[in-house]
Amino acid sequence: MSTSTITSSSTTTTTTTATVQPQQQEVLHLSSIPDITPYAKHGYLFGQKLAASMSPLLHSIVYSHLSLNWAQLRLDSSSIPLFLQLAQHPDFFGSSVTMPNKVSIIPHLDYLTPECRDVGACNTLFLKTDEATGRRLFCGANTDVIGVRESFVQNVADPARVYEGRPALVIGGGGAARSAVYALHKWLGATDIYLVNRDKSEVNAVIAECKERGYGDRLVHVASVEQAERLQGPGAIVACIPDFPPKTTEEVLARRIIETFLRKEEKGAMLEMCYNPSPFTELGALAEKEVWQVILGTEALIWQGIEQDKYWTGRTNDELPIQQIKEAIAAKLAEASKLHAS
């Protein structure tokens, strides 16, 4: 490891850089290494099970709109040494980082944004230059939290009435749930944040980690229908679970608790994070039946991707083709839904 300093007009941050040791380097003849030669600059989607990801499509629309010969290429791998070696290329501009690499990449980064540090997961790698040495710095961000925030901000007409100053509900216990808790706590005005999940140990882990990072004091594990009946209804719900019918005793109980919240007199807005193979889920249908506003998970996908391109291109929202992205993603999902139904 080597140390360096990022200097700006307002802050000085001491950082560490991981160097890929020769014995860690991998031979770059694997068939999974994408061809970068057609592009002036390239980035990666670094993770596994990437075939259905719409991230490269989203970013290709941005680069085409900006007349940039750039591309995001799928790198299906969990090898951090391999990724770090590829990222040394002078035409590399950054990367989306997905499972299983969101946490394991962090020790190899020079700098973390506050969101990345507080959530403890990195989904975006962007580059800076050390002003003192000219050295390239690997920086980590978490734009998943921006995806959650903007899904509500961009789609709910009256946030003061719908969710600000009210409890919120997060369904699930994985990485997306942690991002949802952070966004609800930091930006969306939630008071208490209820957690509902089939696995109590996952909930305990979320609460412990969020408390350790300074935003877990008002998390409440809702473990029974009776407890849900006593609580004030949430204004914002973020559902972070797959679209499978409940089967086990724990899954059935979690669904009953969710239905109890949905039936309360005061309604709100629910972000259904699941969009693969279809954004039109069973849980979303239940919420709509109870007169909740349902925000499709593609909204979070789009807004987190736009935030990534702001890091990589230096452009603003006004300069990016947001409506074109929405139309392309909707068309892709419609196509995928037809294939899934056939």
pLDDT tens readout for residues 147-191: 999 999 999 999 999 999 999 999 999 889 999 999 999 999 999
What is the rounded average pLDDT for all residues in the chain?
Answer: 90
Q: Which two tokens stand for residue 153?
A: 């901000």
Query: How confident is the model over 187-224, as pLDDT tens digits?
Result: 999 999 999 999 999 999 999 999 999 898 899 999 99
CA distance 109 to 100: 16
* Comma-separated ranges of CATH 3.40.50.10860 domains in the chain: 2-27+34-142
Q: Is residue 22's pLDDT more than 70? A: no
Confidence at residue 153, expressed as pLDDT on a 0 to 100 scale: 97
CA distance 225 to 255: 10
Question: Are 307 and 200 contacting, i.e. CB atoms less than 8 angstroms apart?
Answer: no
Q: What is the CATH number of domain 146-297?
A: 3.40.50.720
pLDDT confidence bin for 18, thresholds 50/70/90: very low
Could you give the angle at which helices 144-153 and 297-313 cross, rounded to 10 degrees?
Answer: 120
Query: How confident is the model over 297-338, as pLDDT tens digits?
Result: 999 999 999 999 999 999 999 999 999 999 999 898 888 767
Confidence at residue 340, expressed as pLDDT on a 0 to 100 scale: 61
Q: Which two tokens stand for residue 99?
A: 């499972």
Give the angle 317-322-324 at the CA atoms, nearest 5°. Answer: 150
Predicted structure pTM score:
0.86
pLDDT confidence bin for 105, thresholds 50/70/90: very high
* Comma-separated ranges of CATH 3.40.50.720 domains in the chain: 146-297
Q: What is the CATH number of domain 2-27+34-142?
A: 3.40.50.10860
Whose CA is closest to 304, among 169, 182, 205, 137?
182
